[in-house]
Amino acid sequence: MTTMKFSTFLGLAASLLVRHVASEVFIIDNDTPTALQILFPLTAGKRVMGVSTNIGDYDVEGATYEASLALSTGNLSSCIPVYKGAAQPLVQTNDTYQLWQQLFGSIVWQGAWASDYESPIPANATYTYNDTVGAVQWIMDTVKTSDENVTIVAAGSMTNLALALAQWPDMAKNVKLVIMGGYVDGQIAQVTGGDFVNDMYTDFNLMIDPEGAQRALTAPWKELVIVGNISSQVYPTQSLYNELIAVSGGMAAIKNTSGLAYVEDMVGNGTLSSSNLPFWDEVAAGIAAFPEMVTGSYETYVYVDTSYASPFYGSLRMVPADLRPRAGTKTTKATMITSVDVDAFYSKVVDALVRDWTYFCQSGKSKSLAVL
């Protein structure tokens, strides 16, 4: 009896110890930061060290504004800082980007370089970020000083990582990198699917900075996870909205409860928009925070085509181990995700959003507001 109790105690102590030792901290590096990318790791009990921003869908100012907004909605700004990163890719400029399209055809989504691009920042909006250092220095400092395993979720251009690696190539050895993007085998879908599907298989994040993407992806990461086209296959649905609304206690409760602001941002008036986009970056953050969500993957060697005179400039290429280029083109081993448990993903969305984060910075705790 006594022995059993003692061993139970030891088991408990050991499990607490293991949880402490195997801790993991997150850096969210993105051109389009959204709440779920931050809330998933927090819900999983991980620490989010901060959000670093870069050019991509938005210019870097717009990305920084979006990061600041995603945090302030849940009163998370005081413990999760935002750092502004790359305003431009390493080599690519808007001119080279446009000229390449004259050579190889138009890219459907052109982000911050689209001719009709509009900043998301409302006139005279005030927003905060930590401007004592830039994102690149902050990423290096965070990796250098962390006692814990660092996971970077990079869901925008790879420019911040490329700049950090130029200065500190071995940074990668200490980090698990999870990226959104890395599409392969999309040619048939692009030809037969129309503009929207074509866009779904265009690797914008890599194409806006091909040289940065190649430098970043082929660094010696402790682990590299490429989420690939699976993230384009997971969408918000009306039944997810219905679930969010029911678990929150109805639309009236959502509208009058400040702790449900993230739910309100997601569901709006409760009806799914017809111009609904996939949970792209959220799937990447979800896979990083809850690796058990992954149900299918394979290992491969990858690189990014950096030849300007190529129709695949900025696209991910895969090669079998024995056919890796011997010189000139660096490759790296990666895990490509092919399937995720979509129901598990949706239930994590509900758990993360129907939750009051208001006192998280003060207490380290959030409170579920689920009524079901």
Ligand X SMILES: *[C@@H]1O[C@H](CO)[C@@H](O)[C@H](O)[C@H]1NC(C)=O
Q: Quick check: 126 binds ligand X (CB under 6 A)?
A: no
* Burial (Cβ within 10 Å: 0-12, 13-18, ≥19) of residue 178: buried
Q: Quick check: 74 binds ligand X (CB under 6 A)?
A: no
Q: Quick check: 336 binds ligand X (CB under 6 A)?
A: yes
Q: Quick check: 291 binds ligand X (CB under 6 A)?
A: no
Q: Quick check: 295 binds ligand X (CB under 6 A)?
A: no
Give the integer Cα–Cα distance in Å for 179 and 204.
13
3-state secondary structure of 45: coil
Q: Shortest gap between Cβ of 155 and ligand X (angstroms)?
A: 17
- Cα radius of gyration (the chain): 21
Q: Quick check: 344 binds ligand X (CB under 6 A)?
A: no
Give the integer Cα–Cα distance in Å for 248 and 245.
5
Residues 128-187 close enough to bind ligand X by CB under 6 A: 130, 132-133, 138, 147-149, 184-186
Q: What are the residues whose beta carbons fall under 8 Å from the beta carbon of 33, sequence distance 6 or more?
A: 51, 53, 63, 66, 67, 70, 82
Stretch that binds ligand X, among 6-14, 32-40, 263-271, 364-372 (CB under 6 A): 263-271
Q: Quick check: 250 binds ligand X (CB under 6 A)?
A: yes
| CA-to-CA dists, residue 358 to 79, 285, 369, angstroms | 11, 21, 12
Indicate the residue among 78 and 237 with the shorter CB distance to ligand X.
Answer: 78
DSSP code string of 103-132: HH---S--GGGSTT---SSPTT-------S
Q: Are 24 and 74 in contact (CB under 8 A)?
A: no
173 token code pair: 């050895």
Single out the residue of 1, 21, 309, 372 in contact with ligand X (rule: CB under 6 A). 21
Tell me the backbone φ, ψ of residue 310, rounded to 5 degrees: -130, 140
Q: Quick check: 123 binds ligand X (CB under 6 A)?
A: yes
Residues 345-364 close enough to bind ligand X by CB under 6 A: 358-359, 361-362
Q: Quick check: 372 binds ligand X (CB under 6 A)?
A: no
Q: Quick check: 124 binds ligand X (CB under 6 A)?
A: yes
Q: Quick check: 338 binds ligand X (CB under 6 A)?
A: yes
Interface positions with ligand X (CB under 6 A): 21-23, 75, 78, 81, 94, 98, 113, 115, 123-124, 130, 132-133, 138, 147-149, 184-186, 189, 228-229, 249-250, 252-253, 256, 268-269, 271, 273, 336, 338, 358-359, 361-362
